[in-house]
A and B are shown apart, each in its own frame.
Chain A
Amino acid sequence: MSKSLIAISAKGLMKKFGEGDASVIAMNNLDLDLAAGEMTLVKGPSGSGKSTLIAILGGLQKPDAGQVFSFEQELWSLSSNDLDKFRRQHVGFVFQSMGLFASLTARQQILFPMQHMGFSKKEALIKADALLEEVGLSHRKNVRPAQMSGGENQRVAIARMFSKEPKIIFADEPTSALDSKNGRIVAELLHRSAKSHNAMVLCVTHDDRLSSHADRILTLEDGIISSDYRPQPLKN
């Protein structure tokens, strides 16, 4: 892997929760390089530190020790405002809970954050419609979350995340609550964003259906990477 392709590089990450006998080591001197244009899956049992890894790499939770480098910046040396700015410019998240506002239509879910990211109205409208088209929901643009399926809502959340064209995408259990069809669509969307937008996609999952879309699969146990391999590409 050439150095220029590295989107995120973590060195010596340490994270412990709780004190004394009740303490849990979530990250144990972990080193990791993640390349642009690749979709990496992180698997492992509950409590192995998968979500903590996303939180630390995504600038959401500070490690006890270690460094995270991305776009020539060390994230945890940035101020809170600069970290916000970094996330705004480069990072997209997909959560299992989706985080869609019940009061907004699919189109408005995408437009609302865009109007706070410096997009002009016209530009935002064109882009929102294009993104809904990309996730296959252009016919549902005026529908609110309550009238859509879980899979459709997750696709709206992905379209919202795509609106800022992030180069780093973190997904936390994005398909676990979806049926097979929607799960496959979401996996394809994430994979496509890695390939066509040259984004780094890191996806925490228990869902084996995603494995076929992954370029790399990591297994995390007790805060360390216990396996790291690249599955054979599927033959059509």
Chain B
Amino acid sequence: MMISLARANLIHDWRRHSTAIFVLVLAGLLMTIQLGFVVGYIKTFGLIKQQITADVVIATQSHYRAQPIDTRYESSIWMHPQVEMVSGWSSFGAMAQWQKIEENTISSSNSRPPIIRVMLIAVDPSQHSMSFPKQFPESFRALLSTPGTVILSRSAAKLLSASVGEKVTIDNIEIIVGAIFDGLPTPQLPNVFTSEQTLRLISDRERDISAYLVKVKNPQLIQQTIAELNLMLSGKNLIATTVEGFSKNNSISDIFQGPGKILLGSAAFALLVGCGIASQTLRGAFLAQIKEFGSLRALGIRRRVLAGIAMEQAFWIGIASIPLSFIIAHLIRIVSKRFDIIIDLPVYLMAASSALLLVVALFAGLFSLTVIFKAEPAELLR
């Protein structure tokens, strides 16, 4: 059996190498958890889009941000013989300020209830609506049709400390919480579902249409209709797709926006720090054996063999850190869920972060090679 000096060193001097493993686990966790946040955050955004009941969604081709649609193209969509209904939909929620109504009006200004920023999402509660969320019960149609009534998800209600029947103000307009439902967790700001009518009460700002929701006459011809619509819309920077496709495309573009971008940058920074510290730890481990490596050089062992030992040691450190990072990340995910923080760790994310962790470990090994190359046997004679 071939003797692996790298593995033998790792096992024998595990205390020293555990520092490198620990640092890599930490870097891996920072990366995985933050990416998990991004994926969870995107997934929750996607969840709202998945609630659309349209057969076809037509949106701009931009992969980076939902773009307003040129409304002149609506007539082109109607020209397709399979199109039964077209309605505009806006993914641009309106941001507003949520504040509880003071019970004691003579209280000092210092004790005024806090103002919380919320995201207003307008849905059409009518019977033929394609934006009425799939998971909303029929009773919500009537609730949302009542002007000044909003509906909250359980996670948003928790963040806002709101209860059913409670009166609050949104941008100084008094509204009432009509219902609270389970599901559709809050990705960023608490989501407040309203009707277009209530939204206009609160905010008179005109909102752009970001997609057209289309109902087709024959549901069996959806794919064919999508293909034909795409032909008709070519050159107009619009693309027709299914709800699933729309939700997925937008999810990818959401990664590069706002908090997603910050978290990605932060994850990259975590990796960089992990790489730096792990390489220093490896350098320390190699420096401690500099005489031993020097004696091998004196025996005529080539530098590249020593470099191979260093890289193998880095590889095994990376391998050891992956399952630890994996287990701890899942524990954090479970704990976070209890606090309504959605961290999604799909297999592809775990596989990618494991591979990245290994690459970081190998880079750390590469950076520590300079020490190995300093292992000159002449030094042993002093």
Contact = CB atoms under 8 A, between A and B. Distances in A.
Interface of A: 51-52, 54-55, 58, 60-61, 81, 84-89, 91-93, 95, 97-104, 108, 111-113, 115-117, 121, 144, 157, 160-161, 164, 172
Contacts of A52: 381
Given A51-B381, A61-B378, A93 B12 contact: no
A55 B381 contact: yes
B298 A99 contact: yes
Given A60-B376, A60-B381, A115 B300 contact: no
Contact of A108 (B8, B298, B299): B8
Contact of B299 (A54, A88, A104): A88
Contact of A115 (B2, B295, B298, B376): B2
Contact of A99 (B302, B305, B380): B380
Contacts of A55: 378, 381
Nearest to A51: B381
B296 A113 contact: yes
Interface residues of B, number: 29
Interface in B340-382: 376-378, 380-382
Contact of B382 (A51, A93, A102, A161): A51
A183 B303 CA distance: 32
A104 B296 contact: no
B263 to A, nearest CB: 40
Contacts of A104: 3, 5, 8
A87 B292 contact: no
Contacts of B11: 103
A210 B380 CA distance: 21
B376 A87 contact: no
B294 interface: yes
Contacts of B12: 102-103, 144
A104 B2 CA distance: 13
B301 interface: yes
Nearest to A56: B378
Contact of A60 (B9, B298, B302): B298
A93 B295 contact: yes
B291 to A, nearest CB: 5
Contacts of A172: 380-381
Contacts of A88: 299-301
B2 A99 contact: no
Nearest to A81: B302
A36 B291 CA distance: 29
A112 B295 contact: no
A87 B9 contact: no
Nearest to B5: A112
Contact of A92 (B5, B9, B299): B299
Given A95-B291, A115-B3, A160-B299, 4 more contacts: A84-B303, A99-B295, A104-B3, A115-B2
A138 B191 CA distance: 76
Contacts of A81: 302
A150 to B, nearest CB: 15
B49 to A, nearest CB: 56
B74 interface: no
The 7 closest A-B pairs by CB, nearest first: A99-B295, A88-B300, A103-B12, A87-B300, A103-B8, A60-B378, A51-B381
A101 B299 contact: no
A159 to B, nearest CB: 12
B1 to A, nearest CB: 8
B151 to A, nearest CB: 64
Given A60-B377, A103-B5, A84 B302 contact: yes
Contact of A111 (B3, B291, B298, B377): B3
B295 A98 contact: yes
A217 B211 CA distance: 96
B13 interface: yes
8 contacts: A60-B298, A91-B300, A99-B296, A99-B298, A103-B11, A103-B13, A115-B3, A116-B302
A97 B291 contact: yes
A101 to B, nearest CB: 5
B306 to A, nearest CB: 10
